[in-house]
Amino acid sequence: MIFMATEQVPLQPSIKPQLPGEDGSGSVVLERRTLRVGPPPMYQVVMLNDDFTPMEFVILVLQEFFGKDREAATQIMLKIHLDGRGICGVYSRDIAATKVEQVLQAANKAGHPLQAVSEPIE
């Protein structure tokens, strides 16, 4: 079924609201504000020491998932071993969470209890 209008509705004159800063002369003054967006919060990926994960596996994980060369990976592994924890890298929140998940999956697949966490940098 098709309905058609049989009466024409009279148009009302549009009422223009007066904006703040408008003096009635038709000109409007707007203030420009620039938004400053800061850098995203950063997170550090920290590996935790355990007594069961082989040092060589930790070095391989650092090389594969964090792009470290053999020397840097060895230094980080020794810091993890001696201090109980070591920073593997600093990333935005989503990338840090992905890195932690990659480490945990690789450790689980290899049967090692290696743990990694991401912590916000203050």
The answer to whether the CB of 58 falls within 8 A of the CB of 77 is yes
Domain chopping of the chain, boundaries: 42-120
**Could you confirm whether domain 42-120 is CATH 3.40.109.10?**
no
Global model pTM greater than 0.75: no
Which of 85, 78, 83 has the alpha carbon at shortest distance from 115? Answer: 85
CA angle, 82 then 56 then 96, to 5°: 75
pLDDT, tens digit (0-9, with 9 covering 90-100), for 41-89: 999 999 999 999 999 999 999 999 999 999 999 999 999 999 999 999 9
pLDDT, tens digit (0-9, with 9 covering 90-100), for 18-31: 555 555 666 777 88
